[in-house]
Amino acid sequence: MKISIVIPNWNGAEKLQRNLPRVLKATKFSQVEEIIMSDDASTDDSLKIVKSQFKEVVVLESKIERNLGFSSNVDKGAREAKGDLIVLFNTDAAPSKDFLKPILSHFDDPKVFSVGCNTGGLWATATFHDGFFWHDQARKTSTCEAKAHITLWVSGGSGVFRKSLWDEMGGLDTLYDPFYLEDLDLGYRAWKRGYINLWEPKSLVEHYKEPGVIETNYSQKIVSQTAERNLLIFTWKNITSQKLISDHQKTLVLRLLKHPGYSKIFLSALKRLPQILSKRKIEKAQAKLTDEEVFSIFNQTQV
């Protein structure tokens, strides 16, 4: 299988300078055909550094001077990728030299859409209760084994994706720009279409625990409001169970009545309703599993 590495970047000069050598080193031990840095209108020295110090990297510059967001930037890079598999790395991710070795065999199964790397946590899970979607990471216990496990979604910052299925599903949804829940959305859509996402503990990627591009460029209030807005977008677009969406509507009314300030978040999602409903129609037509069936899979596989 041919492999493309795509690194979305926005003002990540320092992180690129530190972590790109680790990425390049890893390519020497795998079948990586290309490394693409997709830039989102950076104003720092990112482009200069990569072009001068890492000439092996293909640089996709932004055609406009305005930052568009994570989904738009990743999709730009993915469109240019020629590999059968796309590896997505944030600029703050540094892979071990053999991170791909334990991952590749999983793609022998044509139903596997994505495989997540081990950045120190476990696989992702979720439930739907009290009218809302709740996502989380599995809790480690003494019975947790060091072997591959299904995961609800794979992080867009350290994961490997099958390009053919990525294209089939349209990649990351730009409705979520500028950030948050876009990879969760993609993973959930994959499950409903009958595909599988995995977490591979032997694929080690170091993720530096430091303020990221979101934390350094947006206030905590904006970050929180965007996450809440995107949770509404996710629910309206993807939850097609009549019972679950009915529970959501009832809870949403109560939340709006009890917390008037939430109306700002609600209205920001409502502005995108025509696009949401159009995409909801597509996902409903393509679904092979119900929402209840997807949640049931993860309720049965808790550690």
**Other CB atoms within 10 Å distance of the CB of residue 32:** 20
Map out the domains of the chain as residue ranges: 3-217
Token output for 73:
């930037």
Q: How far apart are CA 165 and CA 158, in angstroms?
A: 18
Q: How far apart are CA 21 and CA 265, in angstroms?
A: 41
**Other CB atoms within 10 Å distance of the CB of residue 145:** 8
pLDDT in tens, 53-76: 999 999 999 988 889 999 999 999
| pTM (predicted TM-score) | 0.94
> Residues near 111 by Cβ (< 8 Å), separated by ≥ 6?
194, 195, 196
Specify burial of residue 202 (Cβ count, 10 A radius: 0-12, 13-18, 19+). middle
CB 150 within 8 A of CB 198: yes
3-state secondary structure 106-131: HHHCCCEEEEEEECCCCCEEEEEECC
Fold of the CATH domain 3-217? Spore Coat Polysaccharide Biosynthesis Protein SpsA; Chain A (3.90.550)
Closest CA to 197 of 120, 113, 272: 113
Residue 141: predicted pLDDT: 54
Residue 209: predicted pLDDT: 66
Closest CA to 19 of 7, 32, 33: 7
Q: Which residue type does 46 have?
A: S
Q: How far apart are CA 229 and CA 256, in angstroms?
A: 13
By DSSP bridging, strand 158-162 and strand 85-89 are antiparallel
Q: DSSP of 235-255, one letter per residue?
A: HHHH---HHHHHHHHHHHHHH
Instruction: Using 50 as the pLDDT threshold, list the residues of the chain that sit under it.
Output: 142-143, 301-303
Residue 302: predicted pLDDT: 44
Closest CA to 153 of 134, 180, 126: 126
